[in-house]
Amino acid sequence: MSVGITTYHLRYNPGVVAGGRDNLSRGLARMATDIHSQAVMRAPKLTRALVNSGRFYKTGPMTWSVIFGNVRVPYARYREYVNHLHPWTTHYLQNSAQAVAANAASYFGRIV
């Protein structure tokens, strides 16, 4: 049985942020947290299974992932793109990531 998982990855450009790895690490962690929070608010909530399947975690030294879907919620990828009942909830993860990325400067102490 294939599992539909919707994923958004955060990566960094080492020449953009001043202040060292700690500043960068904290900023990326705050961005992942905010993307997850906004996606939870925007996701369809009929049974709340999709909302409850959302999680974020560190995948590398300076890389984070925000994921929705698991074995119990195989329709997560489908719901990202299609929802006939509530069409305004489509692209819940993509729209959340774009909203947070638009304010990226506020997550870091200083952008070079």
pTM of structure: 0.79
Contacts 24+ apart (CB under 8 A), 80-86: 80/6, 83/44, 85/44, 85/46, 86/44
Is 60 exceeded by the pLDDT of residue 83? yes
Residue 112 lies in a domain: no
Domain count, the chain: 1
Residue 92 lies in a domain: yes
Residue 111 lies in a domain: no
pLDDT confidence tier of residue 88, bands split at 50, 70 and 90:
confident
Domain encompassing residue 47:
6-106
Can you tell me the mean pLDDT for 4-23?
62
Residue 1 lies in a domain: no
Q: Where are the beta strands (DSSP E) in 1-112?
A: 6-10, 17-18, 55-60, 63-68, 110-111
CA distances from 56 to 19, 32, 69 (A): 24, 7, 12
Q: Is 110 exposed, middle or buried (0-12, 13-18, 19+ CB in 10 A)?
A: exposed
